[in-house]
Amino acid sequence: MKLIIAVIQDEDANKVSNDLRNRNFGLTKLASTGGFLSSGNTTLLIGVEEERVDSALEIIKESCKTRKKITTDSIPSTYTAASGYIPRTIEVLVGGATIFVVDVDKFEKM
Ligand code: 2BA
């Protein structure tokens, strides 16, 4: 048994969850926050038999898009007497999905 931990964008969460559920994957959806952008994302926990891991990853890959997000640099780069420090905007590419696949020692439902 494996546990897939998938960090995905909120915009993709409903479609991915529905597609996984329709293919009989069990999942738990967690609201999470990215450490860099400090904005909301979604983390899916998917417990799955080893032989179905690739099929789950395929579904995630199909639905998760890469998007550009604009954020401000944490260290202001420009100082002007009139406005003080002006934060520098930077563009980052987020996603499709950040995936971890880990071994599950034991899986029980009680
Ligand atoms: P965030 O940490 O909010 O990162 C959002 C995007 O910002 C990242 O997209 C990446 O393009 C950029 N980014 C992150 N750290 C950066 C840095 N130090 N300098 C410049 N740009 C940076 P993704 O790589 O697609 O990551 C999307 C989300 O996946 C992340 O949101 C985070 O929640 C999760 N994630 C990514 N790598 C992870 C890791 N090694 N461990 C745990 N979670 C991770």
Could you tell me the fold of the domain covering 2-64+95-103? Alpha-Beta Plaits (3.30.70)
Over its C-alpha atoms, the chain yields an Rg (Å, rounded) of 18
Give the Å distance between the CA of 94 and the centre of ligand 1: 7
Please, what is the Cα angle at 91 between 32 and 93, to 5 degrees?
55
Question: Which residue is closest in CA terms to ligand 1's atom 18?
Answer: 36
- DSSP β-ladder status, 28-33 and 2-8: unpaired
Q: What would the pLDDT profile of 4-37 be if each residue is shown by its tens digit?
A: 999 999 999 999 999 999 999 999 999 999 999 9
Q: How confident is the model at residue 78 (pLDDT cuts 50, 70, 90)?
A: low
Q: How confident is the model at residue 74 (pLDDT cuts 50, 70, 90)?
A: low
- DSSP β-ladder status, 78-80 and 28-33: unpaired
- Mean pLDDT, the chain, rounded, equals 92
Query: What is the structure's pLDDT at 88?
Result: 80
Would you state the structure tokens that stand for residue 7, as one six-digit string? 């960090």
Extents of the domains making up the chain: 2-64+95-103
User: What residues are in contact with ligand 1 under a 6 Å CB criterion?
Assistant: 7, 34-37, 41, 92-95, 98
In the chain the first and final C-alpha atoms are separated, in Å, by 17
